[in-house]
Structure 1
Amino acid sequence: MRKISAEKAVRIITLAPVMAFLTLSILFGVRNGMFGGGANYAAAVFFLTVLPLLAYPLQKVLPGWKEKGRSGQRSLAILMAVAGYIAGILYAVAAAVPEGMLLVYLAYLFSGCLILLFNKGLKIKASGHACGVAGPLALLVCLLGPAALFGLPVLGAVYWASLRMGRHTWKELILGSMLPIAALLLAVLFLRLF
């Protein structure tokens, strides 16, 4: 059996869909009323965790993607995440979820769109990994208060692992961390205006 390095373990444990599951579970445990029921929690887990995670096994079997290696895996992961976020928004509107839950879906959708815009549209590499940790952390602070800053060491671990493995530069990590904060502010503004 192949040994996994500490850096690789950190990057696996902190994949964006894993962090989404952890965030949703914390919110459901602490503020389950914001979900409007267990079915909405299950739907959020499906749209924000399961669909994005499907990119990893699908990349190995989908024609046109399996030949692209890690870059293909990264691209498919972003596309599957955004597809899950769009489907989640459609569900949220159809199910008339409470506003706190709609905020979560909007923040994820806007984050995914910003990562897609920067990485694919503008060709400015922003760390999706940092985004996938900073976004949930920002959501928890917004919804639970400053006590949620206990999660900052997790973001530090992602920076450490990404730098050690040569996956990202400081600039890419910082940009990836700033995009979900901007997305959350956009989501809050959107909900206030509409």
Structure 2
Amino acid sequence: MKEKIAKFISILTVVPIVALFSITLLYFNFREDFKSCGWYFYSIFFLTIMPLLAYPLKRILPGFKDKGRDGERKLAFVLAVSSYILGTALVFILKAPVIVEKIFSAYIASGGMLAFINKIVKVKASGHACGVSGPITLLYHFLGVPALWLFLLLPIVFWARINLKRHSFKDLVTGTLVGILSTVIALGFF
């Protein structure tokens, strides 16, 4: 039963699902800042739908089909970062509203820093922890103190990821710090 609960928590806190929640919360609180629902759907497409495509694509792409969970994780990361890069480039080319620029800047910074920490520095940082702490930091930027209660989700994420033996406590703390710091840095440019 404990493992099923941990899996459920892990599914609910996968980065694209947290992005969907965060973008939707921001849209309903700052609808006028999005200028139109088109930018809301644009954000959902690049930050939720594109990264989630990794899960069905893993079943049909030859290079990932037989690699199990590892292949799924790699494809999810590649699709997410590619989608963040393309989405962010288009945000600035198409002159998106500032709120959308901030959202994409935070995601590209987090994805870039996470990739750097994991691939170059060779320190394992949790994508789940980064994908929860970064958006909470983004929500705090826009919503202020009422968003701080969302940080209470992190111990639940930690518990689930440790119970599933996906990460150590150090991996989770590192991922959390990457999410918070990269988001703060990205928002500092505005």
TM-score, with structure 1 as normaliser: 0.93
What is the one-letter code of the residue matched to 1:84?
S
Q: Which residue of 2 aligns with 1:24?
A: 23
CA positional deviation for 1:74: 1.0
Q: For structure 1, which segment, 44-53 or 63-72, has the greater mean C-alpha deviation from structure 2 after superposition? A: 63-72
CA positional deviation for 1:58: 0.9
CA positional deviation for 1:185: 2.1
Unaligned runs of 5+ in 1: none
What is the one-letter code of the residue matched to 2:105?
L
Q: Which residue of 1 aligns with 2:159?
A: 160
Tell me if the contact between 2:137 and 2:184 (Cα under 8 Å) persists in the aligned partners: no
What is the one-letter code of the residue matched to 2:127?
G
TM-score, with structure 2 as normaliser: 0.94
Equivalenced residues, count? 189
Per-residue displacement from partner, 1:125-170 (whole Å, max 9, x unpaired)?
1000111111111100011101011212222211110111111111
Q: Which residue of 2 aligns with 1:92?
A: 91
Tell me if the contact between 2:84 and 2:108 (Cα under 8 Å) persists in the aligned partners: yes
C-alpha separation in 1, matches of 2:13 and 2:184: 23
- The percent identity for this pair of structures is 38
Per-residue displacement from partner, 1:160-185 (whole Å, max 9, x unpaired)?
10111111111100110111212112
Per-residue displacement from partner, 1:66-120 (whole Å, max 9, x unpaired)?
2221111111111111111111112211321122220110110010111111222
C-alpha separation in 2, matches of 1:183 and 1:36: 26
Is structure 2 residue 117 aligned with structure 1 residue 121?
no
Q: Which residue of 1 aligns with 2:171?
A: 172
Unaligned runs of 5+ in 2: none
> What root-mean-square deviation, in Å, do the aligned CA atoms of Structure 1 and Structure 2 show?
1.5
CA, structure 1 residues 67+121, in 2 after alignment: closer, same or farther (shift >3 Å)? farther
Tell me if the contact between 2:88 and 2:104 (Cα under 8 Å) persists in the aligned partners: yes
C-alpha separation in 2, matches of 1:76 and 1:117: 17
Per-residue displacement from partner, 1:25-67 (whole Å, max 9, x unpaired)?
0001111122121000000000000001011111121111122
C-alpha separation in 2, matches of 1:181 and 1:23: 15
Tell me if the contact between 2:51 and 2:76 (Cα under 8 Å) persists in the aligned partners: yes
